[in-house]
Amino acid sequence: MDFSLVTSEAYREIFQSMSEGIIMVNESGEIALANPVAEQLFGFGRGELTGVTLESLLPERYRKGHVKFRQAFNGDPHPRRMGFGRDLMALRRDGTEFPVEISLSYTQVQGDILVMAFISDISQRKLVEDALRKSEEQLIVYAAELEKKVELRTDALNQTIVKLEQEVSERKKAEEEVRRSFERERELNELKSKFVSIASHEFRTPLSTVMSSVSLIKQYKDRQEYDKQDKHINRVKSSVNQLTQILNDFLSLGKLEEGKVEIQSDPIILQSFLDEIKEEVQSFLKDGQTVTTACPPDLDEIWTDTRTLRNILYNLISNASKYSDAGKQVHVSAESKNSRVFFYVTDEGIGIPADDQKHLFDRFFRASNAGNIQGTGLGLHIVKRYVDLISGEVSFTSTYGKGSTFYFSIPQG
Ligand SMILES: Nc1ncnc2c1ncn2[C@@H]1O[C@H](COP(=O)(O)OP(=O)(O)OP(=O)(O)O)[C@@H](O)[C@H]1O
Ligand SMILES: [Mg+2]
């Protein structure tokens, strides 16, 4: 077959000037026609491809397979692209290979099938594609490395954060401890300075009483006025009692603050216990003041810490007497209710102004109507702490100008 197979001049022109290589192959695989671009691609001169077998333009390794492929195509010719999804390689006359892209079509000339292959040399595109793939691969590697680095850094950072958090919480704990010990020290200092100022104030009166009574005792002794002498001896005694009481208060508070007060459970025969206390408080009652006691017969024996209970009642009775006029009565009673023992200390004294009542158990607090009645404001605070120690509760009711009842309850035993 020759050039005259292309029927019209126009087709011939197109065929010649196509930028793709075109090869027409007959059924036995010989090239019937090739355009100049195809000849150039494979390194052949004008007309030299004609008659060459198609397989000789393929690298050796593809040739066998290609014969079968070509026969199959001839049996069912239809236009299509070749080698979709894989690289096709072609062979130049000088034996070098180059990548190609091929589309197939066919035509029939005088009953024979002519297969047309449109061939593009894609070496350049491949180069670019390869370069792109490589840089893409590099990018992926780089991204993976970066990710790894970020991961490592994040781990390190997380560890640092955990460490920092630990440090911060430890530092906070330490600060809290320092703050607490400062606070305790401040409270202790406050207590000490309060003690000094209160002691210097509270000690002055009983001390000056002691001084004047002692010099009077001497005078009365010289004049042999023994009854007056006795009176002043009693004054000295009660002044010393007062001083002892103040010191005891501070000592109790100190021990309570340090948690050094230990309690035990003693059996107490209640009526005789109240009678004893009544005896003891006689020394500080004002002229004409009386203490009455009442204890129901069913409340015979209770179990609690004797010293603590005595201290509480002593403090409450001392207040009842101190904040009542001479000649008034103080009533001390006990009763059993819901497995608890209730104690009441009732007086007919000056009462407590409503505004002051909520502060009554605070350390050093003294009500506004306490005036120049001696006191440190520690007694009730200590009472509250003692009552807590024996699992009790303390409270009071009071009417200003009329009197008060202080009461507390403790477990019966
Ligand atoms: N029975 C009472 N009647 C009226 N006021 C009272 C009575 N008991 C306590 N108060 C008031 O409560 C304040 C606090 O009492 P608390 O016993 O704690 O201290 P104080 O009697 O002043 O001093 P201290 O008992 O330490 O010698 C008193 O100053 C007083 O104003
Ligand atoms: Mg008191």
Tokens of 15: 């065929």
Q: Is residue 321 part of a domain?
A: yes
More confident: 6 or 101: 101
Exposure of 339 in the CB half-sphere (CA atoms within 13 A): 3
Distance CA 276, CA 194 (A): 33
DSSP element (H, E) containing 91: strand 88-91
Task: Supply the pTM of this predicted model.
Answer: 0.56
- The domain boundary, picked from 121, 146, 181, lies at 121
List the domain range (segments joined by +) for residue 342: 261-411
Q: Is residue 68 part of a domain?
A: yes
Ligand closest to Cα of 345 equals 1
Q: Is residue 13 part of a domain?
A: yes
For ligand 1, say whether the CB of 378 is within 6 Å of any of its atoms. yes
> Mean of the pLDDT values across residues 211-224?
89
Residue 355, Cβ neighbours under 10 Å: how many? Answer: 10
Tokens of 234: 């009693």
Grouping H, G, I as helix, E, B as strand and the rest as coil, residue 272 is helix
Total tally of structural domains belonging to the chain: 2
Q: Is residue 131 part of a domain?
A: no
Which residue, 299, 310, 304, is CA-closest to 336? 299
* Residue 77 near residue 115 (C-beta atoms within 8 A): yes
- The domain boundary, picked from 105, 121, 137, lies at 121
Q: Is residue 33 part of a domain?
A: yes
CA 185 / ligand 1 centre spacing (Å): 27
Ligand closest to Cα of 381 equals 1
- Residue 339 scores a pLDDT above 80: yes
- The domain boundary, picked from 71, 94, 121, lies at 121
> Mean of the pLDDT values across residues 315-327?
96
* Residue 19 near residue 45 (C-beta atoms within 8 A): no
Q: Is residue 363 part of a domain?
A: yes
* 399-413 confidence digits (pLDDT tens): 999 999 999 999 987
- Determine the pLDDT at residue 185: 85
* 149-193 confidence digits (pLDDT tens): 999 999 999 999 999 999 999 999 999 999 999 998 888 787 777
Strand-pair partners of 411: 340
Q: Is residue 93 part of a domain?
A: yes
List the residue whose alpha carbon is closest to atom 11 of ligand 1.
367
Q: What angle do CA 233, 239, 241 make, to 5 degrees?
A: 105
Ligand 1 pocket mutation pick from 319, 362, 365 by most atoms within 8 angstroms of CB: 319
- Residue 201 scores a pLDDT above 70: no
CA 366 / ligand 1 centre spacing (Å): 6
Supply the DSSP symbol for 322. Answer: H
- Residue 388 scores a pLDDT above 90: yes
Ligand 1: atom nearest CA of 366 is: 29
- Residue 317 scores a pLDDT above 70: yes
- Determine the pLDDT at residue 269: 94
- Determine the pLDDT at residue 16: 83
CA 397 / ligand 1 centre spacing (Å): 14
* 223-256 confidence digits (pLDDT tens): 888 888 998 998 888 888 878 877 887 777 778 7
Length reported for the chain: 413
Angular region, 356: left φ>0, alpha ψ -120 to 50, beta rest? alpha
* 23-80 confidence digits (pLDDT tens): 999 988 999 999 999 999 999 999 999 999 999 999 999 999 888 888 888 888 888 7
More confident: 262 or 250: 262
- Residue 129 scores a pLDDT above 70: yes
Q: Is residue 336 part of a domain?
A: yes
Distance CA 66, CA 54 (A): 9
Which residue, 281, 306, 305, 307, is CA-closest to 293? 281
Distance CA 203, CA 374 (A): 10
- Determine the pLDDT at residue 4: 52
Tell me the CATH number at 110.
3.30.450.20
CA 244 / ligand 2 centre spacing (Å): 14
Tell me the CATH number at 274.
3.30.565.10
